[in-house]
Chains A and B, each alone.
Chain A
Amino acid sequence: MRIDEHPVLTFTRGKKVTFYFDGKKIEGYEGEPIAAALHAAGVKVLRHSHKKNRPRGFYCAIGNCSSCLMVVDGVPNVRVCVEKLREGMQVETQKGRGDLIVED
């Protein structure tokens, strides 16, 4: 669902990259928000809520509301509406709060 022709705007996109959504390979453009790339690929459910396990998507798209938290390259609670897409990213649906990474 990308816009190719628009009466007012022209879109300059970064280079095409591949990334992974729950292990599945998807294409997007480098530098766009992860959420935009997912949405263009038809993915709307980004996480499930803590208590009632309800599906959640983005809401504000400017990094304010915390509706779009996902696990990105192993790091939970990433706001994918403002996190930029890079080649090879592993993006996963977040369930619940997400665990802090403990490294020794």
Chain B
Amino acid sequence: MLKTDIAIIGAGPAGLNAAISAAAMGAKVLLLDRDDRAGGQLIKQTHKFFGSRELHASLRGIDIASLLLARVREFDNIDFRLGATVLGYYEDGVITAEYRGNFLKIKADRYVIATGASEKILPFPNNDLPGVYGAGAVQTLTNVYGVLPGKRVIMVGSGNIGLIVSYQLLQAGVQVAGIVEAAPGIGGYLVHAAKIRRAGVPIYTSHTIKEAYGDSSVQGAVIWQLDEKWQPLNGTEKDIEADVICIAVGLTPLTELLWQAGCQMKYVPQLGGHVNLRDENLMTSVPGIYVAGDVSGVEEASAAMLEGKLAGLAAAKSLGYSIENYDELWQQAISQLDGLRSGPAGEKIRSGLKMLVR
């Protein structure tokens, strides 16, 4: 049995920051990620990030990951294991993991769950054809392994992910046949949309996929227009040839471990699906289990980093560790988070988070 003060599951921006802030207070930390690279979603992001400068905006996602990893490596009290998939949480507070062919049993006094989120799927006929891929999958294939998903892509969803992945595909030399968006307006930032438009890619707002077709893999899709009530209009069908349909309709939190641990959960569509209730210290309804990042509501990397900081600080403090400027660090992260979630763009997240207060 492996024993530690704080076990952190997931080494994306949230988990890495939780590890750093807990270790800085002196806690013994075990940081686990099933991937063999640290950084979570960041390792697929070749674009420069939006957000504030303290939170590394204007750096590329992949570079933010290296920066955080270097910080983690500075601490002797962080035991960081990549290739460690956490399998389950048991009644006695033990978690198990598969680690390079071995089975690990781990008992920590506190847990921070930072497992992130996974791709949603969209229902339409033949959506199971090979060639219908999640946006994250397309990014992993293209940006991490250098393999093109296909020659010509239909992007579904015009949020920031749909726009950014479209741009990344163009950069990699793949044709983007068009972006299909069910809402009447573009979902993501207009700076991203403008880049795509300049490249000559049409954005079909108020449109959705009627069906995909192909023998053993995608050969194209029929799209059609939606009216104000989101009902498809007969006679507006367009046939678009493509060998990939990329689905970028959002993420949903990866909450299996939270369910297993018996955390109280609630369905909050603004946050991407079922998420856990939590208090102001980011602790769930199960004492000792904290959360940070997309797993507790799909947002963005800057928010994930700040939540990670907070969860790491709170978990270490609850074990009696301290740091001179604790209150200052805490307050700083809180006000940065408030800043991120302010204004009309943050309304959705704010209303979602209100539903999670314990």
Contacts and interface: CB of A to CB of B under 8 A. Distances in A.
A9 B148 CA distance: 14
Contacts of B171: 6-8
B146 A61 contact: no
Interface string A9-41: 101010000000000000000001100100110
A49 interface: yes
Given A45-B130, A60-B119, A55 B217 contact: yes
Interface string A79-98: 00110000000000000000
Interface string B238-255: 000000000000000010
Interface residues of B, number: 34
A15 to B, nearest CB: 15
A56 B150 CA distance: 16
Nearest to A49: B128
B254 A64 contact: yes
B175 interface: no
Interface in B68-118: 85, 118
A22 to B, nearest CB: 14
A69 B190 CA distance: 39
Contacts of A57: 129-133, 217
B148 A59 contact: no
B217 A44 contact: yes
Interface string B145-172: 1111111000000000000000000011
Nearest to B172: A3
Contact of A8 (B46, B119, B140): B46
A62 interface: yes
A39 B142 CA distance: 11
Nearest to B143: A9
B173 interface: yes
A9 B46 contact: yes
A61 B128 contact: no
A61 B172 contact: no
B129 A33 contact: no
Nearest to B168: A8
Contact of B118 (A13, A40, A65): A65
Interface residues of A, number: 33
A54 interface: yes
Contacts, number: 93
A61 B134 contact: yes
Contacts of A39: 141, 147, 149
Contacts of A62: 35, 118, 136-137, 140
Contact of A60 (B131, B136, B172, B217): B136
Contact of A32 (B34, B145, B216): B145
A96 B146 CA distance: 31
B75 to A, nearest CB: 27
A32 to B, nearest CB: 5
A33 B137 CA distance: 12
26 contacts: A1-B147, A1-B148, A6-B146, A6-B171, A9-B46, A32-B145, A39-B149, A44-B131, A46-B130, A49-B128, A54-B128, A56-B130, A59-B121, A59-B134, A59-B137, A60-B118, A60-B134, A60-B137, A61-B137, A61-B141, A62-B35, A62-B137, A63-B34, A64-B118, A65-B134, A67-B128
Interface of B: 34-35, 46, 60, 85, 118-119, 121, 128-134, 136-137, 140-143, 145-151, 171-173, 216-217, 254
Interface of A: 1-3, 6-9, 11, 13, 32-33, 36, 39-40, 44-46, 49, 54-65, 67, 81-82
Given A6-B146, A60-B134, A61-B136, 18 more contacts: A1-B151, A2-B146, A2-B148, A3-B146, A7-B171, A8-B60, A11-B145, A36-B147, A39-B149, A54-B128, A56-B128, A57-B217, A58-B133, A62-B35, A62-B118, A64-B119, A65-B118, A67-B128
